[in-house]
Amino acid sequence: MPLPVGPPLKPMLAKLSEEMPRGEGWVYEPKWDGFRTIVFRDGDEVTLRSRNDRPLNRYFPEVERMLLEGLPDRCVVDGEIIMPTANGLDFDGLQNRLHPAASRVNKLAAETPASFVAFDLLAADNALLMDEPLSVRQAKLDELLKAATPKSPTEPALHAAPCLFLTPRTTDADEAQSWFVELERVGCDGIIAKRADLTYQPDVRAMVKIKHRRTADCVVIGYRTHKNGGIGSLLLGVYDGDDLRFVGHTSSFSAKERKELVTKLEPLRTDPPEGFDTDFGPGGQSRWSGAREGGDWNPIEQTLVCEVSYDYVTGDRFRHAARFHAWREDKDPKDCLFEQLRYQ
């Protein structure tokens, strides 16, 4: 008999909140910094699927083997593939695992193994659990994976991989707030809050995420146009010594703002910054797609500075799109230094 649910299956999502929700009926978990993964275990077969239903087995053979040993024979589990190190989670290292060459994949699996953190149970044996409340699903998951309970909230991020863990959770908002601070030191991305009576709702933002937010002053080095006209995104840079580094982009402008930005930016169009390495600048390769990210960009004179907020830096770039706050006419572009990203 096949599993009660199989791929493709989109995971349940979370909407961003500035504040931790409080009150009766909330459950709080760490927001792990890894690859969201739904695992389908059916006897001797384990299937790993990403948030966008991309197959992950070939990239993480050690995780596949570990889950065959640690999961019940028939189940569907929602969780996260993470890469723990002695200093915490390594998202750059995790991205490096998405390599096309099998020999390289096997080498990295031995040198930089990954782990899996389980936080929801969608099916067990022949029972579909997605319509059950979260409290029921979690109780069943705890029963099946009792041996995988971590000794502390930080253990999954620091314990040598490959390893299977149940995610830590609490119903105490104050404890969750302390985790928000404590777990950032080991690379966690914030806190996820869920209602205990929540059914599993694929591709619906039914949970709440509280993420770390920081601000930075960046040089606007160029822009991309929007498909409906106007400016679609501003491309951002900071100085590392005399070198100008691309660190990401900010977008989500209204139609009116996109048109107004044309007037501000078009007169500043110029050649790319001297010595700017376009291989690592806007339009770099994506490990998922292998294609150019976002197409052509238009360089401008490096005279404008804007303040943006961001959640996390991976390597030398913002993980996600930054949020535009204000123009900083009072700020010299040369004062927009990479150090402000290192020490926040």
- Give the catalytic positions in this structure: 31
Angle at 19 between CA 14 and CA 25, to 5 degrees: 65
Asked whether the beta carbons of 45 and 55 are under 8 A apart, the reply is: no
Of 254, 178, 253, 258, nearest to 210 by C-alpha is 178
CA atoms within 13 A of residue 53's CA, in its CB half-sphere: 7
Q: How far is the C-alpha of 280 from the C-alpha of 276, rounded, in Å?
A: 9
| Tokens linked to 144 | 């099946």
Q: How far is the C-alpha of 11 from the C-alpha of 77, rounded, in Å?
A: 10
Buried b / exposed e over 217-242, threshold 16 CB at 10 Å, is: bbbbbbbbbbeeebbbbbbbbbbeee
205-211 and 13-16 beta bridge pairing: parallel
| Tokens linked to 154 | 């930080």
Asked whether the beta carbons of 307 and 216 are under 8 A apart, the reply is: yes
Q: How far is the C-alpha of 31 from the C-alpha of 82, rounded, in Å?
A: 11
Distance from chain centroid for Cα 266: 33
Distance from chain centroid for Cα 123: 25
